[in-house]
Structure 1
Amino acid sequence: MIIPALDIYNNNCVRLFKGKYSKPKIFCNNPMKVFLFFLNKKVKRLHLIDLNGAIKKNCNLLIICNFSKIYNYYKISKIQIGGGIRTYKKFKYFSYFFYKLIISTLIFKKVFFLHYFFRKIIYSIDIKNNFIYSKGWKKKECKLKEIKKKRLTKEIICTDINNDGTMKGLNINRFFIFRKIKVKLIISGGFKKYKKCKINNVIGFISGISIYKKKVSLKHAL
């Protein structure tokens, strides 16, 4: 399954190159238009990220709140949302409206309320040079192999930061560590074309630029 990505930065629909915020590629200055496009296409799942929220404040909060109201009406696609969801108030609100909540920074913090929402959470394991990064891919946390020590969510997103936004094709070797871990894996970073994956527990591929540039069909997302 292909999962389209809708990343919002400064109220625009963008894609980053290798996680670098300095030169975001703007694909549309109307994120609502893109959001409605995917809903009207009836994609099975949508990956929604507030990039501003991931590194500092949720300046796109109004847009996302409007998304939640529309989604509550449609209820067609399953939407996984992330980027700056770090308070109980936000967890409570977003868990009501959206299918899954994506967290990365909070994986490495002791947060008392996380267990209340654990079934709604997807861990995002963002990797670069065999290390896991958080805070919008800016803070190095630990070696990738140490993730085995964590209590993991049933589904995990794993992004190859060095390959993200390049359209060079997925580097499947980066994700082999998850073959023997009992999780459902969604992988991201460099997606170019849809093909069978060598890792049996992979359930989806997140795609951004390949979709926006019409290099890959949405038929595998429906």
Structure 2
Amino acid sequence: MEIFPAIDLKDGKAVRLTKGLMQSAKIYSDEPWELARRFEEMGSKWLHLVDLNGAFAGEPKNLEQIEKIRKNCSLKMQLGGGIRDEDTIKRYIDMGIQRVILGSVAVKNPGFVKEMAKKYPIVVGIDAIDGYVAVEGWAKTSTMKATDLARAFADSGVEAIICTDVGRDGTLSGVNVEFTVSIAEASGIETIASGGVRDIEDIRKLLETGKVAGVIVGKAFYEGTIDLKEAFELVRS
């Protein structure tokens, strides 16, 4: 299982939100690239990066910071937020981003996502509120069940699915293990847990399922409720 430390970008700064609400943003760093370098020093292999402004605008909004992060660390990076077309996907891949995350467009145009997955390393982001898919930076809830969306991408060539329980995101209330496993079972695709991770016990619970490929750690790191070095050791032991 892989651990993905997270940097969420808002107005060029590293922030964390609570339950996806932009007005809840708490700033943790004015220089996000410094955080990326810290994660690398701790032993991380990957970085999970989100352009929050982009997610709401439907187009990239933090390119300068993303480029700065890319230049200042050698971590593999997966990036999401406002990616709606092939030009944007190609731009990020050319920039040196290893995987591109498609979220809202996966609900609206799954055919496009499947087409892109044949050409580029694509990850589908499935964000759910009470089991139903949330879109447009989590500002709206669709009528589609998260497990049905996951099932739609089985055998599509998509590299992974990131599933986020929006109600837990940024709350440090514990990861939703059952939800994560249900997405993994529905899709048969490598599934990465996101939302609510609090401490090393959450990592242990996900590991014990034997069905979860990764976990995104955000606020738990920033608020000091998890020791990332210990977490890396646990998943690699």
TM-score, structure 2 normalization:
0.83
Correspondences of 1:27-46 after superposition (within 5 Å): 27-46=28-47
Name 1:103's counterpart in structure 2.
Answer: 102
Q: Say what the alpha-carbon RMSD is for the aligned residues.
A: 2.1
Whole-Å Cα distance in 2 between the matches of residues 116 and 175 of structure 1? 24
Whole-Å Cα distance in 2 between the matches of residues 80 and 95 of structure 1? 10
Structure 1: any 5+ residue segments left out of the alignment?
none
Q: Does 1:155 align with 2:157?
A: no
Q: Percent identity?
A: 30
TM-superposed CA distance for 1:11, in Å, is 1.2
Indicate if the aligned counterparts of 1:80 and 1:102 stay in contact, CA closer than 8 A: yes
TM-superposed CA distance for 1:80, in Å, is 0.6
Q: Does 1:65 align with 2:63?
A: no
Match of 1:212 among 202, 208, 222: 222
Whole-Å Cα distance in 1 between the matches of residues 127 and 23 of structure 2? 19
Name 1:93's counterpart in structure 2.
Answer: 91
Assess, with a 3 A threshold, how the Cα gap between structure 1 residues 148 and 35 changes in structure 2: closer, same or farther. Answer: closer
Q: Which moved more, 1:153-162 or 1:53-62?
A: 53-62
**Number of corresponding residues:** 218
Q: Would you tell me which structure has more helix in proportion to its own residues?
A: 2
Higher relative contact order (CA 8 A, sep 6+): 1
TM-superposed CA distance for 1:117, in Å, is 4.2
Whole-Å Cα distance in 2 between the matches of residues 5 and 208 of structure 1? 5
TM-score, structure 1 normalization:
0.88
Indicate if the aligned counterparts of 1:105 and 1:134 stay in contact, CA closer than 8 A: yes
Structure 2: any 5+ residue segments left out of the alignment?
none
Assess, with a 3 A threshold, how the Cα gap between structure 1 residues 43 and 156 changes in structure 2: closer, same or farther. Answer: same
Indicate if the aligned counterparts of 1:14 and 1:28 stay in contact, CA closer than 8 A: yes
